[in-house]
Amino acid sequence: MTQPPDNQATTPDPTADKLDPAVLKVAGVVVLGAIMSILDITVVNIALPTFQAEFETSYAIAAWTITGYTLALATVIPLTGWAADRFGTKRLYMAALTFFVLGSVLCATAWNIESLIAFRVIQGIGGGMLMPLGMTIMTHAAGPQRVGRVMAVLGVPMLLGPICGPILGGWLIEFHWQWIFLINLPIGAIALVLAYIVFPADKPEPTESFDFLGMLLASPGLALFLYGVSSIPGEGTVLATKVLLPAIIGAVLMVAFVFHALRTEHPLIDLRLFRNRVLTTAVLTMVLFAIAFFGGALLLPTYLQQVRGESALTAGLLLIPQGLGAMITMPIAGKLVDKIGPGKIVLVGITLIALSTVFFTRLAVDTPYPAMLGALFVMGLGMGCTMMPIMTAAIQTLSHQQVARGSTLMNIVNQTAGSIGTATISVVLTNFLNNQEFAKPAIAANVSPEFASKVPPGVVEVGLSQAATAFSHTYIVALVLIVLTLVPAFFLPRTKPKNPELADAVAAVHV
């Protein structure tokens, strides 16, 4: 039997129920960085209508401030494992944090939508490494026997994001939209100092050569494919050059990467992990769920501001029940996963999300707020039973040597699917709005007092009703995707996870 590397701590006591103070300090710093990264996504969700008005652009183009960010995350995550070995996890984490804060400051200086999208990409390059590096640092600190407890700690940012993000974003936009990015400067500075003090020093131990060809295939391939998908609205006669051509080239590059990765000893993304059936099932579930959920998450803040005429702050406050629901079920789900497996829990979560989404497929211009808040609370209950149990389902079946590669793969899947979901839902909504004769002028009149005098009141009333219909029809697309998620989720494990030591031994036999 092979001995663990010297840089890994001896196996922790599997009977220990709590993380020791040293690990909790490391976890606190990691969570602070993760909160900043996740909050940045939810904060910008609430700011999309503001970007549309500020830069006089369409919803689909404004949504690229989110798509570009998550795409950058997905592009840089595969580099994290190699870079951590080459430069050390502590040093790389601090560098990524610095890059994220620098990108945030640049975003605040944006002068048009194109520059904002470009600076969001820079911000995403730094933000993309924070979560996988944080997971690696925490796993090394806690030991493989306590991965489940570590994942529970990392669930904290996912609880705070849906609650604090919309509120913080709405409040900051009341001052000026630049503050949603400048707020990262003091938080990032604190996180940087704490990381320097708390994180244990580690020496770079390069073990693998960098898969340069894989990077040239995977990153541009994904970027071109998503660019093509997101360029569908309004392209008309240039459909072939701005949509089909980039999408086809991107798809070809990604297929080429698959063949390359399966023939390379140390690929950028380790596709051999898909030999693990549980991980494969978890990935399929995560893909469909992330596309549906993160894409649909854009809809309600935009509806509240553009159709109901609410301020960004009010829209953020109205989203609180969703976060409260997740706060209730996530810790319960985390404990149950260790006892009965993730399968039953995830099925319950997806069912709750689907039921609540049915309500939003009937959105109207005068949908009662109490009913809407109740549906959001049910959706939050489903959230808490879904994402972290899916991630845990994948990680629990991996050997200690596979955990870093598996967490990297799941983060790539999560961010990439989120990008696809954002692009898909924004395309669908834009097309539905374009098919409604008075929707766009009515929305413009509803959010802009200067434009309101130019649109007859009757047109505004009819147009807002048409716009609400466009949002409800878009929710139908999200509902279909959520229901499809039930198929792979049905095959997730429904029994208590095996002893981690036994899982390591089994994995070693099959690797």
- pLDDT tens for each residue of the chain, 511 residues long: 444 444 444 444 444 446 677 777 887 788 788 777 777 777 787 788 888 888 888 777 887 887 788 777 767 777 777 777 778 788 888 999 998 999 999 999 999 888 999 999 889 888 878 877 877 777 677 665 565 566 666 666 665 665 677 777 778 887 888 888 888 898 889 989 998 888 877 777 666 677 788 888 877 887 777 677 666 654 544 555 667 788 888 889 989 988 988 888 777 777 888 888 888 898 899 888 988 887 788 788 888 888 888 887 888 788 889 888 888 888 788 778 777 878 889 999 999 999 999 999 999 888 999 999 999 999 989 988 888 788 778 777 776 667 667 777 777 777 778 777 877 888 888 888 888 777 777 776 666 666 556 667 677 778 888 888 889 999 999 999 999 999 999 988 887 666 444 344 333 333 3
* Contact (Cβ atoms closer than 8 angstroms) between residue 152 and residue 388: yes
Report the run of H or E that residue 196 belongs to, with start and end: helix 184-198
Sign of the alpha-carbon dihedral angle for 330, 336, 386, 481? negative
* 205 within a domain of the structure (yes/no): no
* 156 and 118 assigned to the same domain: yes
- Out of 171, 200, 229, pick the residue that ends a domain: 200
DSSP annotation of 4: P
| Residue 114 located in a structural domain | yes
pTM over 0.85: no
Q: How many domains does the chain have?
A: 3
Torsion 307-309-313-319 (CA) sign: negative
* pLDDT for the residue 428: 86
225 with 349, same domain? Answer: no
Do residues 227 and 250 lie in contact, with contact meaning Cβ atoms separated by under 8 Å? yes
At which residue do the structure tokens 């208590």 appear?
Answer: 496
**pLDDT reported for residue 508:** 38
Counting DSSP H helices and E strands in the chain, the numbers are 23, 0
Would you call 195 exposed, middle or buried from its count of C-beta atoms within 10 A (0-12, 13-18, 19+)?
buried
Q: Where are the alpha helices (DSSP H) in 56-146?
A: 59-62, 64-87, 89-108, 113-142
The amino acid at 446: N
Cα(237)–Cα(243) distance, rounded to whole angstroms? 11
- 501 lies in the same domain as 375: yes
Pick the last residue of a domain from 267, 293, 312. 267
Tokens matching residue 63: 């949504």
Q: What is the DSSP string of 9-21?
A: PPPPPTT--S--H
* CA distances from residue 434 to 213, 438, 480 in whole angstroms, order as listed: 41, 9, 22
Residues 195 and 118 in one domain: yes
CA distance readout (Å), 80 to 223, 240, 414: 18, 35, 15
How far lies 274's CA from each of 37, 210, 262, 405, 410, in Å? Answer: 28, 21, 11, 11, 11
CA distance 43 to 55: 18
Tell me whether residue 238 is in a domain: yes
Assign 362 to helix, strand or coil: coil
Q: Are residues 151 and 225 in the same domain?
A: no
Closest C-alpha to 420, from 353, 362, 477, 354? 477
Same domain assignment for residues 164 and 248: no
State whether 386 and 500 are in the same domain.
yes
What's 241's DSSP letter? Answer: I
Tell me the C-alpha distance between 329 and 384, whole Å: 5
Q: Is residue 369 part of a domain?
A: yes
**1 lies in some domain:** no
Please indicate, yes or no, whether residues 177 and 239 belong to a single structural domain of this protein. no
Alpha-carbon distances of 257 from 217, 224, 270, 412, rounded to whole Å: 6, 14, 11, 15
Structure tokens belonging to residue 363? 């959105």
Q: In 3D, which of 448, 417, 178, 432 has the Cα closest to residue 291?
A: 417
Closest CA to 202 of 133, 268, 267: 133
- Tell me, yes or no, whether 152 and 299 share the same domain: no
182 token code pair: 């400048």
> Quick check: helix, strand or coil at residue 437?
coil
- Domain presence at residue 398: yes
The DSSP result for 131-189, as a single string, is: HHHHHHHHHHHH-GGGHHHHHHHHHHHHHHHHHHHHHHHHHHHHH-TTHHHHTHHHHHH
The verdict on 354 and 422 lying in the same domain is: yes
Buried b (16+ CB within 10 A) or exposed e, 152-165: bbbbbbbbbbbbbb
Give the amino acid at 2. Answer: T
Q: Say whether both 195 and 107 belong to one domain.
A: yes
Q: CA-to-CA distance for 441 and 397, rounded, in angstroms?
A: 53
Domain span at 145:
20-200
- Residue 366 structure tokens: 């005068």
The HSE-up count of residue 444 (CA atoms within 13 Å, CB side) is 16
Residue 257 lies inside a defined structural domain of this protein: yes
DSSP state of 498: P
Tokens standing for 230?
A: 């997101």
Rounded to whole angstroms, the Cα distance separating 141 from 229 reads 41
Domain annotation covers residue 15: no
Domain boundary among 200, 221, 246: 200
CATH code of residue 38: 1.20.1250.20
pLDDT at 47: 83
Same domain, 257 and 186: no
Give dist(CA 435, CA 284) in Å, integer: 33
